[in-house]
Amino acid sequence: MVKPDDGYKDIPDGGLILDAGSAKEYKTGGWRTEKPIYDRDKCTDCHLCWAFCPDSSIDSANGEIQGIDLDYCKGCGICAKECPVDAIKMEEE
């Protein structure tokens, strides 16, 4: 259901999404029980977090990691596990 005031769609009951190419319209970050905390000072821009993120939630521009898009991050923790310098830690919501 489109919510004009919020600018996003609720995921239909059962999670079945039939509209091809509409993933950006469904903000799934609310499913998290843990969130990633990004430390720019520790980051070496190796992009392993970006490569392994199943939700494409790692923001990168000009060869540098910019942060994590919490609108879509489901808190799986893969980014934190893959980071070789511990620049991402998981924290309870």
pLDDT lower than 70: segments of the chain: 1-26
Enumerate the domain spans of the chain: 29-93
CB 48 within 8 A of CB 65: no
* H or E element at residue 68: strand 64-68
Residues 6+ positions from 2 with CB-CB distance below 8 Å: 9
Q: Which of 3.30.9.10, 3.40.50.11890, 3.30.70.20, 3.60.20.10 is the CATH number of 29-93?
A: 3.30.70.20
Please state the pTM of the whole predicted model. 0.72
Nearest to residue 69, comparing CAs of 51, 56, 82? 56
φ and ψ at residue 25, rounded to 5 degrees: -80, -15
The 10s digit of each residue's pLDDT in 30-56 is 778 999 999 999 999 999 999 999 988
Question: What pLDDT, on a 0 to 100 scale, did the predictor assign at position 71?
Answer: 87
